[in-house]
Amino acid sequence: MSYKRTSAGLIAVMVVAAVIAGCSGSSSGAHSGSGSTAPAQATPAPTESNPPGDIPDNQVFVAYRPTGGFTGFTVKVPEGWARTDKGGTTVFTDKLNSVTIATANASTAPTVTSVKDTVVPQLRGKVSKFASPKVSQVPRKAGSVVLLTYRGDSAKDSVTGKVVRDAFARYTFYRQGHEVDLTLSGPVNADNVDPWRIVSDSFAWR
């Protein structure tokens, strides 16, 4: 009788141990299942390939030759940008950037002083939140030109209503009574130094 009671006791212990092990395993499995969903929740949002306003490094530039008004020059502009013409002004735009080309007759060549005294006050009255004007004489492949840099607010986006703070670089080229103003603009802090250099250095009289 003593042997039977001992065997029965061992069997009972083994059954209890098996039940505990089974519960432990199922509990472990539950934790494992919930743990497998954590990485999906922690995946970061995709980043943009280019910061807003940055012109891509692989942007192609093509020669623009005006066909109306004063046609005695060429300048490279980004390929594929939307073009609008109004009077003697042509504008190429893409997203937050623009290239504006304006022509005019002028009896004398512009100087740093004339731009400060005449152009800056005009722009102050036209450009929203106009600020930080700086005028200098700079070299370009077409010759020495007057450069005016400044900042201002963009027009409100017709869809989003968003206003962007823009940086402007206005190069004034002059030859034999003809003036061409080349204005390059994009968001402040956009890294467009190289593209804008390509455009401003590409200007050539013909």
The residue assigned the tokens 């009972």 is: 12
The residue-averaged pLDDT of 15-34 equals: 43
> What pLDDT band is residue 50 in, cutting at 50, 70 and 90?
low
Average model confidence (pLDDT) for the chain?
82
Q: Which two tokens stand for residue 32?
A: 């494992």
What's residue 89's pLDDT? 95
Cα distance between residue 206 and residue 204, in whole Å: 7
137/126 Cα distance (integer angstroms): 24
What the block records as the tokens of 73 is 């020059």
Residue 44: per-residue pLDDT: 53
Q: Give the per-residue pLDDT at 18.
A: 42
Written as six digits, the tokens of 86 are: 């109004």
Helix (H, G, I), strand (E, B) or coil at 28: helix
CA distance 90 to 86: 6
- The answer to whether the beta carbons of residues 117 and 131 sit under 8 Å apart is no
Alpha carbon distance 88, 67 (integer Å): 11
Q: 200: which 2 tokens?
A: 């401003």
pLDDT single digits (tens) 67-123: 988 999 999 999 999 999 998 899 999 989 999 999 999 999 999 999 999 999 999
**What dihedral angle (degrees, nearest 10) is formed by the CA atoms of 66, 128, 197, 142?**
50
Q: Cβ–Cβ contacts within 10 Å for residue 75, how many?
A: 23
Distance of CA 159 to the CA centre of its chain: 18
pLDDT for position 68 = 87
d(CA 147, CA 111): 10
State the average pLDDT over residues 44-72: 80
**Nearest 10 degrees: Cα torsion 26, 27, 28, 29:** 50
* Both structure tokens of 108: 């004398």
- CA–CA separation, 170 and 148 (whole Å): 5
Distance CA 103, CA 57 (A): 29
Instruction: Identify the band that residue 52 occupies on the pLDDT scale cut at 50, 70 and 90.
Output: confident
Cβ atoms of 170 and 196 within 8 Å: the answer is no
